[in-house]
Structure 1
Amino acid sequence: MSALLTLFACLALGILCRRFARLPDGIVPGLNWWVLNVALPALALALVPRVALDAHLWLPVAGMYVTFFGAWFVFAMLGRLWGWSRQRVGCLTLACGLGNTSFMGYPMIEALHGKDGLSIAVIADQMGCFPLLAAGGIVVASIYSGKGTQVGVVVGRVLRFPAFLALLLGMLVGVTGGWPEAADRLLMQIGQTLTPLALFSVGLQFRLALRREHAGPLLAGLGWKLLLAPLAVFGLGVFAGVGGLVLVVAVLQAAMAPMISAAILADQHGLEPDLANTVLGAGILLSLVTVPLGNAWLG
């Protein structure tokens, strides 16, 4: 309960500070830089070596791909049926195909399932969601904005991302026996800065501006992201015989709010930025209720 209260408090502080405080220039990029380039790699280095080898760990990763490519298919079909623009299809594919599996996912999974659940959440995010953002997200944004794609640029972004490199190093360290106790403690202490700073950053960037013409796309997008995608991952896990904490974390990561970085990517490529920000804000609010409810349903 205390971890959930920390989550809500940090998010609320970010929203209140954005509204009432005089913030220094560049605070959001600075916070995000620390989270993405220091805290997240440190957490990956600390947690990944502790993950016990499990034949079912493919599911949390596969769940991210089901969510992304399922969104692409669903919104492409709805776009044809309802006459949406290419920009709208691209916007919803990015915003509702990629989840906030790190900034929101890590603290929520840790609050609900502790360090064991968090270690699985890191695998889902770093092996599933981030490569999809770095590769699939760039491809979708380029296609639906009319821009070309360059394979070298996409591959380079993945290989230069610190947290992805930390994931690979953490897997190697896990195979060789883990970190010395002092190094493990240091990495965990640095990694623990992720939750408060990430949620505070989310609060600073929070936007919610509802417009009538966005009602249909908003309902379709969040219906997929918060309900249908996690149900699809649950069905895949049950069909494949996966159970326990691995199944629960896989479903909850698929049910996380839309990704902030994906909304920024849609903005940069001119893919209905107002709709992307509306989906992002509404998704964050709703996920604070739907994820704990989904966790209770999963037992």
Structure 2
Amino acid sequence: MNAILLIIVFLLVGVILQKVKSLPPQTPKFLNYYLIYIVLPAMALRYLPGIEMKLELLLPILSAWIGFGLSWLLFGWLGKKFNWGKSVTGCLVITAGLSNTSFVGFPIVNALYGEEGIKIALLIDQAGSFILVSSVAIVVASIYGTEKKRKRDITRKILTFPPFLFFLIAMFMNLYQWQVGGFLAQVLEIIAMTLTPVALIAVGLQIRINPEAMRSKFLWYGLGYKLILIPAIVLLLFKGVFNLGGLLLKISVIEAAMAPMITATIIAISHDLEPRLASLMVGVGIPLSFLTVGIWYLILG
């Protein structure tokens, strides 16, 4: 419970800082850059080389792919059946299908489950969510978007993204059982400790909610899938069919239950897929997810 209260406090700090006029408007962007270019690579080097690689680790990674795949199937079918229009359908597929497994997910997992939980969350994010948002999500956006499809060098984009690049380096180190030690390990540990406060303050600075727009039925369809349906499916599937348990099951469900990914929202907006709805999915989804994730945490025990 103390961990959840700590999360709420840092989030509220970010929301309150929105009222500080002297704060530069680019502050959230700078904080995000710090997280992307420094904290996430540092965490990859700190935690991933020491992970004992097991076949069962594929299931947590698979949870991200299941979430996006089912989102595409469900909203693609509903969109055709009820004639929602390609823009609405594409927006829901992308924003409801991708979890905020890093900026929101990492600090929550770190607060609730500690270092061992972070190791699993990193695998879900890098081998699951990031590859999806950098490749499949762009394909979906091109299919449902109004603009002509543009050729993108997806492979180059993935391999040059710092967290994923360091993910590959860390996994190479894991393969040869190399680990960072000494003073450098201490530096990486200190940097990793800044994740929770910085990420949550950055999220708090970016939360924007329009009460009138919250009446949209599509918003609640998307959030209902993202915050309730897909984590329930992951829980039932992994526990009932694959007999997965312990920390692997808990992190898989918790990460599946996270709010929509900010990067996914940017992709939807850039392809003109209902920008207002896409923004609401994040703006409403992130604060609401703190309640629903807390419920899932209690259910998992």
TM-score strictly above 0.5: yes
Equivalences for residues 11-50 of structure 1 within 5 A: 11-50=11-50
Query: Contact between 1:139 and 1:149, CA under 8 Å: does it hold in 2?
Result: no
Query: Contact between 2:90 and 2:273, CA under 8 Å: does it hold in 1?
Result: yes
TM-score for the superposition, normalised by structure 2: 0.94
Query: Contact between 1:257 and 1:284, CA under 8 Å: does it hold in 2?
Result: yes
CA distance in 2: counterparts of 1:190 and 1:160, whole angstroms: 21
Q: State the partner residue of 1:246.
A: 248
Please list the CA deviations of residues 202-237 of structure 1 after superposition, one character each: whole Å capped at 9, or x if unmatched: 111101124468532112111110111112212221
Which 10-residue stretch deviates more, 178-187 or 18-27?
18-27
Alpha-carbon offset, residue 71 of structure 1: 0.7
Q: State the partner residue of 2:299.
A: 297
Instruction: Provide runs of 4+ in structure 1 moved above 4 Å.
Output: none
Q: State the partner residue of 1:196.
A: 197
Equivalences for residues 142-181 of structure 1 within 5 A: 142-146=142-146, 147-150=148-151, 153-175=153-175, 176-181=177-182
Unaligned segments of structure 2, at least 5 residues: none
Q: State the partner residue of 2:276.
A: 274
Query: Contact between 1:173 and 1:179, CA under 8 Å: does it hold in 2?
Result: no
Please list the CA deviations of residues 21-69 of structure 1 after superposition, one character each: whole Å capped at 9, or x if unmatched: 3221422221111111111111111111122222211111100001111
Q: State the partner residue of 1:255.
A: 257
> What letter matches 1:110 in structure 2?
N
Paired residue secondary structure (2:31): helix
Q: State the partner residue of 2:95.
A: 95
> What letter matches 1:77 in structure 2?
W
CA distance in 2: counterparts of 1:156 and 1:174, whole angstroms: 23
Equivalences for residues 122-137 of structure 1 within 5 A: 122-137=122-137
> What letter matches 1:283 in structure 2?
G
Alpha-carbon offset, residue 183 of structure 1: 2.0
Size of the aligned set, in residue pairs, is 298
Unaligned segments of structure 1, at least 5 residues: none
> What letter matches 2:48 in structure 1?
V
Please list the CA deviations of residues 225-272 of structure 1 after superposition, one character each: whole Å capped at 9, or x if unmatched: 011111221222121121111011011111101111111221111111
Q: State the partner residue of 1:225.
A: 226
Paired residue secondary structure (1:22): coil
Query: Contact between 2:108 and 2:196, CA under 8 Å: does it hold in 1?
Result: no
1:121 aligns with 2:134: no
CA distance in 1: counterparts of 2:182 and 2:50, whole angstroms: 13
> What letter matches 1:98 in structure 2?
L
Check 1:212–1:278 CA distance in 2 against 1; reply closer, same or farther (3 A cut).
closer
CA distance in 2: counterparts of 1:121 and 1:212, whole angstroms: 32
CA distance in 2: counterparts of 1:215 and 1:269, whole angstroms: 20
Query: Contact between 2:110 and 2:196, CA under 8 Å: does it hold in 1?
Result: no
Alpha-carbon offset, residue 284 of structure 1: 1.0
Alpha-carbon offset, residue 125 of structure 1: 0.6
Alpha-carbon offset, residue 84 of structure 1: 0.7
CA distance in 1: counterparts of 2:111 and 2:101, whole angstroms: 14
